[in-house]
Amino acid sequence: MSAHPCRCALWCAGLLAASGCGFHLQGHKALPEVLRVTYVQAKDRQSDFVQDLRKELLTSGARLTTTNNDATAVVHVVNDDFARRVLSVSASDQPAEYELTYTVRFSVSAANKEILAVQEVSGVRDYTFDETILLAKENEEAILREALAHDLADVVMRRLANL
């Protein structure tokens, strides 16, 4: 029974050490003050990437506005593109493997000045394709697309945190 308080003490000591070195849980990135009130400008405000970016900004403590007049910073999503290409074909000349690419170009401005020039980030995934289970493969592609968008939103958030 005396081992329990010792484990608790070790766990607390580990927590203190981790917090002292600047460690932050993933998903909770500290944003600079300029991004506290942010407007996300995008052609497609319902894309997977834009939705994930908005969620990440909110999670990180930013307040999102519906107009750029109220914002201290504007994240401009210049391009938000998703592409699929055939990587390989079967002996019967049917697609056997696809490559998915999600590419985002963005910049950030504050007080009508560009504080982060246009940046491009992209992610690539591939998956095998089987026409006999078409519905499952379409679902797999949708899941991979969402995962790519989420990964790119994480990359953008890390860049925003470094402003």
22 lies in some domain: no
pLDDT at 10: 52
Read off the pLDDT of residues 35-85 as tens digits, 9 standing for 90 and up.
999 999 999 999 999 999 999 999 999 999 999 899 999 999 999 999 999
Of 4-13, 41-50, 126-135, where does mean pLDDT reach its minimum?
4-13
pLDDT at 6: 53
Q: What is the mean pLDDT of residues 12-38?
A: 65
Q: What is the mean pLDDT of residues 117-130?
A: 95
Read off the pLDDT of residues 131-163 as tens digits, 9 standing for 90 and up.
889 889 899 999 999 999 999 999 999 999 998
Q: Please name the residues in contact with 50: beta carbons below 8 A apart, sequence gap of 6 or more.
A: 40, 42, 44, 77, 80
CA 32/CA 117 separation, integer angstroms: 17
Structure tokens belonging to residue 150:
């989420």
140 lies in some domain: yes
Can you state the percent helix, strand and coil of the chain, rounding each to 5?
40, 35, 25
Alpha-carbon separation of residue 110 from 18, 33, 68 (angstroms): 33, 11, 10
Q: In what order do the strands lie in the sheet with 113-128?
A: 63-64, 37-42, 73-89, 95-110, 113-128
Task: Give the CATH number, domain containing residue 77.
Answer: 3.30.160.150
86 lies in some domain: yes
Residue 100, domain extent = 29-161
114 lies in some domain: yes
Per DSSP, the chain holds a count of helices (H) and strands (E) of: 3, 5
Report field, pTM of the whole predicted structure over 0.85 = no
pLDDT at 131: 81
* Amino acid symbol at 2: S
113 lies in some domain: yes
Element (H, E) at 79: strand 73-89
129 lies in some domain: yes
Q: How many domains does the chain have?
A: 1
Structure tokens belonging to residue 32:
């600079």
Task: Check residues 130 and 55 and name the one with the higher pLDDT.
Answer: 55
pLDDT at 81: 96
96 lies in some domain: yes
14 lies in some domain: no
